[in-house]
Structure 1
Amino acid sequence: MSQGWVDIHCHLVPGIDDGAKDQNDTLAMARLAVAEGTETVICTPHQLGAFRHNRGDQIRRRVQAVQELLNAHRIPLVVMPGADVRIEDDMPQLLASGEVLTLGDLRRHVLLELPHELYMPLEPVLDALRAQHLVGILSHPERNRGIMRTPEIIEPLVEAGCLMQVTCGSLAGSFGPQCQQIAERFVSRGLVHFLATDGHGPKSRRPLFGQAVQRSTELVGEAATMKMCRDNPCLVAEGRDVAAGPIAVAAPRRGWRFWKRAS
């Protein structure tokens, strides 16, 4: 198993979506990630929604080109193909055909993106994925406006087997106090299976774990933090099962000032 971070959500591929603009951005982002201890990145360009033009084989070729670029510059980072998939009606069929990518292209986990403005019931989506022996990972629920209004809807989803990925920047406060509060609440209750950077560039929304790791460790201890940043992401990168349901978390440090707000 990896000893460093495994980032399952990062927009590292240049010129394909709203992430890295060019190879220079990709190289700068990769160097930042490696300097922090990241060993593996699953590249997740947007698919469907406004990025329906991003095709599966195109993403596979571009991720291979990124790996060759990193190797040429002696940057010790492994990259794998994947996608940040907007939930649409034909998503199950496109997953079945391979046109829409699973994480690592391993036919096990799908990174699901809701429309940012609203929440839609995920149970039918999860059932459709289950029929293909796929598992859904909901990306950044703490940043969805519908969930921000009713965060209590997350716990039943986790109990039903949906996995959750919170953005490192949310936990560090980069998206504002409300996102941070909800991220802290989810982490504190063991409802988060992955922390990932959702990195988009070398200057803004950088692919960094550090502050989130510190905050998570304050909230729930080192073991749970390692599970979210390393162990569970590594299982995804290997195409192996991640335990469903809430994860075990430690009590917060005595006197930690954000605990009451997050509980």
Structure 2
Amino acid sequence: MAVSLHPSIAADNRRTGTDALRGAEGFFTTWTTYTAPPLGGFPRPIRAYAGVRRAMIASTTEFLDPSPYPHAELHYNGAGFAAAPVRVSGDATSVDEVSHRVEQDYLELQLVALTSLLAHHAANSGAGGDCEIRGQFLLTVLERGVPGPVAVETPISSIAGSGIDAHQRANHALAVVTQQDPARVTVDLDELVSDPRAVVRAAHSLASDILGAFAIADPCVLRVDGFLDLHRLHDRYRPAYTPWAQANGLVDTP
């Protein structure tokens, strides 16, 4: 899953060289410690590598496109790009004859995490204004070495009363074999960094378009009003996400 963010007002950031790299590394560490939702795929420790007017945040230098490794490109003017892996379903209940079966709830939450990362980087850099955010499910990376159709599977209960313990392809959902265009949404940067629900709303917009290519009508966890439907999240993820969602006011209480 890949997300990019471009603020309409670029930062006038004159930091360069090692000083800029350490600043980007410090920002990422602070964000993951105090702000970030649980983000799969970025192993620690991470480090910053030099790029052209940007810092490359990764745990490996193998981050050139296309790359299966999580990484972020934090431009010194506030723009950014970040990518992290989706999770391929291994649930025994799945009977799809496809090469890759992707978990829908994990995909949606990765969009939240990557959008949060890039928005806070932009604000930390001194950028401002409206931000164009693009999200794209990169099939070429997922298919690396194993070409074939990709399906998105929704979290379900395998047995009545068992909780959400499996993933299964929804009725009428499609398997996709061609790369889709990026989804886009524009949001004010101040809103993104001051209200966690704004991040969820932006991620919901991106997820709706991305999932539409698979003939899936709606996100399963992200809501258009900025709350999270944690009761639709797979049981394996709920313990990690619930405390963060509650702390950030993302659980709607009747």
Query: Is the TM-score greater than 0.5?
Result: no
Scaled to the shorter chain, the TM-score interval is under 0.3
Task: Identify, as 1 or 2, the structure richer in strand.
Answer: 2
Q: Which has the larger radius of gyration?
A: 2
TM-score between both structures, scaled by the size of structure 2: 0.26
TM-score between both structures, scaled by the size of structure 1: 0.26
Task: Identify, as 1 or 2, the structure richer in helix.
Answer: 1
